[in-house]
Amino acid sequence: MTEEPVGVLAGIARHAFPKAPMELVDHVDVTVDGGLHGDFRGAVKPGGRGRRQVTLMEAGDWAAAMAELDHAIPWQERRANLLVEHLDLPQTAGTLIGIGAEVILEITVECDPCSRMETIATGLKAALTPDWRGGACSRVKRGGRIAVGDAIHILDPSQGL
C-alpha cells in the first residue's frame, strides 16, 4: 500500500466496561474481532458491523477545545482510544489508516461528542462538535500490536490490503 503523510501515535487508552475509568497503556494488541485488547467497545457483536471498534482523536483538536474552554484536562477524558499527533485525520468514511508495521483501521464515522462531555467541563460537548474535533470511529481491518511512538499513515486503498 502506498503511504501518505506520517503522524505519530501519541497515546493509547482503553476501558474495560461502560463508564469505567480510562486506562493508559504504552502498547496493546489489536484484533479484527476484538479491537483493542482490554477495551469493551472493540468486540464486534453477532451481526454487527464493528463501526466503533477503535476511536481516534487528533491531539491538536483536543488542544484547541481545551484552549477554547481555558482548561487543561487530560486527553483520555474524551474517552477516545488513540491520540494522534502530526496528522490531520481524514473526515471520510472508508479511509484506511496504517499504524505501526501491521495494524490497519478503516474510518467509519465521526465520533460525535456525547452529553457526558458536559460532566467533564461545561461547554466541552460544543467545543468538540465542529469539524470532527471529537475524533473518528473506525473498524479494524488488520490486527497486530501498536505502541506509543508508532508511525501513522493514511493508506492508498487502491493498493489493496
Q: Could you give the domains of the chain?
A: 3-15+22-159 (2.40.33.20)
Would you state the pLDDT for residue 103?
97
Would you state the pLDDT for residue 5?
58
Which of 32-36, 86-90, 112-116, 125-129 is predicted with the least confidence, judged by mean pLDDT? 112-116
- What's the grid cell of residue 47? 451481526
Helix (H) / strand (E) containing 63: helix 59-69
Would you state the pLDDT for residue 47?
67
Query: How does pLDDT run across 49-103, given as a tens digit for each residue?
Result: 677 899 999 999 999 998 999 999 899 988 899 999 999 999 999 999 999 999 9
- Per-residue confidence at 113, pLDDT binned at 50, 70, 90? confident
**Whether this model's pTM surpasses 0.75:** yes
The 10 Å CB-count burial string (b at 16+, else e) for 78-108 is bbbbbbbeebebeeeeebbbbbbeebbbbbb
Would you state the pLDDT for residue 133?
87
Across 35-135, where does the E strand assignment appear?
A: 35-36, 54-58, 82-85, 96-99, 103-110
User: Does residue 59 contact residue 52 with C-beta atoms inside 8 Å?
Assistant: no
